[in-house]
A and B are shown apart, each in its own frame.
Chain A
Amino acid sequence: MKKIVVLAKQVPDTANVTGDAMKADGTVNRAALPAIFNPEDLNALEMALMIKDKIGGEVIVISMGPPKAVEILKHSLYMGADRVMLITDRKFAAADTLATSYVLAEAIKNIGNVDLVLAGRQAIDGDTAQVGPQVADKIGYNQVTYVSKLKEFTDDYLIVERDGEVQTEVIKTAYPVLLTVTAEANTPRYPNCRKMLQYFRVDLKDNFSEDELSVAKENDWIIPTCTIDDLGLEEDRCGLKGSPTKVHKIKSIMLKGGDLKMYGTEATDIRQLVRDIMKDYVEVN
């Protein structure tokens, strides 16, 4: 029976910047992007569920974010997570990786006796890959990053493959440990129909009306939330205040127009292109 915590983040879908999300000046309107489950966090959740399926355990998904992030927690339940928790507080806004990892680490300590923490390698909105290791540091666990395959696992150890750029490293580690998981590691499962029915009504407390609340409580439909006070956090280490890095300036990227020389598609045009390439670039031996 392993206690497994998965760290998950809701992110704007930066991959699919459609026309709707473009502003008139050609830059991206970030607010208009759809919010999705960070892709590699799904791989982390899948890995947790695989372990649970085979050796048993409890899979707890936690996310720090605004109330809207409850969407990915519901999705986690549909996939098979046992418990979810939203860590949310206005004062978390503008947290960098140091402040975020502080909050997540405290939440993990609060859950207690966690054997395994799984996180996606990186989130697609920031691509920093820092939160996983920074959580590992704060909870004092061993870490393996860039896990591209779960090879073997028992109650006592895990054997994983790590993508070391020029080499694949086969690593054995005992618990407790934190792994950051890449997209290559597995294919996340689809939500399960039975689970979707079972968790059809779950939501944050604030999303139920007064009348519904007692029924919701009775049926365990309320997704727990945690604030700074609930976790007993130091406010100075959260959000903007707890973030040593500040965003000084943001520039939307626009295409730069270069001098463009166009060639036609007639054979003679292509010959000219080839000559121009050869003249400048092909090394003569």
Chain B
Amino acid sequence: MKSVVFIEKNPLSNQLRNVSLELTHKAYTLSNPLGGEVVGIFTGDSLPENCDELFQFGMSRLLYFTDERLAHLHSIAYKHILETMINSESPDIVLFGATHTGRDVAPLIASSLKTGMTADCTQLYIDDYKDKGKILYQMRPAFGGNILATIITPDHRPMMATVREGVMLLPDERLNFPVKTEVFPIDFNELWIKSEFLEIVPKVKKVDFNSANIVVSGGAGVGSEENFRLIRELARALGGEVGASRAAVDFGFVEKDHQVGQTGSVVRPKLYIACGISGQIQHRAGMEESQKIIAINKDPDAPIFNIAHMGIVGDLNEIIPVMLRYLKEEG
């Protein structure tokens, strides 16, 4: 059971994206027990600076083709290059990060290979299937998160899947695989370059969920942009990051970068405090893996209490100021 993993870097930092490490590890847990290896494939203008790290998570080899003209996502060029690499390895499994790059290129490749692809998987595992031997089982939410579907690709190879960043966990222990990067020869065709990138404008990124142990989120129940200050203050007092439900974003209480959920970020902090959030399925998709969840909501029947570990039924506008006072006193 050989796996190929698409490796990408953060275009603004020249470092690997976390999802590449996460998927390398996941692929290793899928392939290794069955005696298969994990091969990385990369294309771009230059290799990520820290690509050695991939080998600590179970990668055997990293194939790459770099060219200045590939600094940006030229979908058609990326497709041809990556598809050639995949074909040369004949893998059983191909994993892509469900990033805006992965979700752009991977479907092109699946189309070209006439194989199946499952987007945004939340769980992947190998098991027997009828007389087909071992195959990949791909679980993903569908229907706006109201159902969890298990998708299989029983008759086609490779079996392709994408996974969002932050969904698969990295282990604590490191492997010590030798670093093996190999240039992959490509007969580059100028006609593959079809778009002209006129300008790249970095987004001002104010939100960092990855390094936050605590996330304090506000929802529609916060009531106003003015009241949302309380959420920010509580986050600051706890040394955490500010999150939000989509309703809070839609009402304009807080910028979209803060949105947690199916169409926002997936967060997995040690503690998640949901204030004035009902706990709809799309919101839960982004936070229910948090280690501990505290819910503050004035409706005792709000679904958020069904997944919370600690809860207060009451008005957040009265409760949070008291919390802030005690945080000051106790801290």
- Chain A contacts to B: CB under 8 angstroms: 12, 14-15, 17, 27-28, 30, 96-98, 101, 124-134, 136-138, 142-146, 159, 162-174, 177, 243-253, 255-265, 267, 269-271, 273-278, 280-283
Q: Are B151 and A245 in contact (CB under 8 A)?
A: yes
Q: Are B111 and A273 in contact (CB under 8 A)?
A: no
Q: Are B118 and A172 in contact (CB under 8 A)?
A: no
Which B residues are CB-close (under 8 A) to A271?
322, 326, 330
Which A residues are CB-close (under 8 A) to B100?
145-146, 162-165
Which A residues are CB-close (under 8 A) to B105?
133
> For chain B, which range describes its interface: under 10, 10 to 19, 20 to 34, or 35 or more residues?
35 or more
Which B residues are CB-close (under 8 A) to A17?
144, 146
Would you give the shortest CB distance from A165 to chain B, in whole angstroms?
Answer: 5
Q: Are A275 and B330 in contact (CB under 8 A)?
A: yes
B75 interface residue (CB < 8 Å to A)? yes
Task: Please name the 8 residue pairs, one residue from A and one from B, whose CB atoms are nearest each other, closest first.
Answer: A14-B144, A244-B116, A245-B116, A255-B306, A142-B194, A133-B107, A137-B111, A134-B111
Q: Are A169 and B194 in contact (CB under 8 A)?
A: no
Most B-side CB within 10 Å, residue of A144, A145, A164, A243: A164
- Chain B contacts to A: CB under 8 angstroms: 10-12, 72-73, 75-76, 79, 99-101, 103-105, 107-108, 110-112, 114-120, 137, 141-156, 194-203, 205, 213-214, 238-239, 262, 270-271, 281-282, 292-294, 303, 305-314, 318-319, 322-323, 326-327, 330-331
Q: Are B119 and A28 in contact (CB under 8 A)?
A: no
Q: Are A15 and B144 in contact (CB under 8 A)?
A: yes
Would you give the shortest CB distance from B319 to chain A, in whole angstroms?
Answer: 6
Which B residues are CB-close (under 8 A) to A30?
143, 146-147
Known: A265-B319, A273-B310. A137 touches B107 (CB 8 A): yes
Q: Are A169 and B311 in contact (CB under 8 A)?
A: no
Would you give the shortest CB distance from B72 to chain A, in whole angstroms?
Answer: 7
* Cα–Cα distance between A274 and B325 once the two chains are bound (Å): 10
Which A residues are CB-close (under 8 A) to B282?
15
Q: Are B75 and A142 in contact (CB under 8 A)?
A: yes
* Cα–Cα distance between A143 and B105 once the two chains are bound (Å): 10
Q: Are A164 and B73 in contact (CB under 8 A)?
A: yes
List 18 extra interface pairs beyond A137-B112, A248-B150, CB under 8 A.
A12-B143, A126-B142, A130-B103, A134-B110, A137-B111, A146-B104, A165-B100, A166-B11, A167-B201, A244-B115, A246-B151, A246-B153, A252-B147, A258-B307, A271-B330, A277-B238, A281-B214, A282-B331
* Cα–Cα distance between A140 and B141 once the two chains are bound (Å): 31
* Cα–Cα distance between A259 and B293 once the two chains are bound (Å): 11
Which A residues are CB-close (under 8 A) to B72?
169
Known: A164-B11, A263-B312, A278-B330. A101 touches B153 (CB 8 A): no
* Cα–Cα distance between A137 and B72 once the two chains are bound (Å): 19
Which A residues are CB-close (under 8 A) to B313?
262, 265
Which B residues are CB-close (under 8 A) to A280?
270-271, 292
Nearest B residue to A126 via CB reads B142
Nearest B residue to A16 via CB reads B144
Q: Are B150 and A28 in contact (CB under 8 A)?
A: no
Q: Are B146 and A142 in contact (CB under 8 A)?
A: no
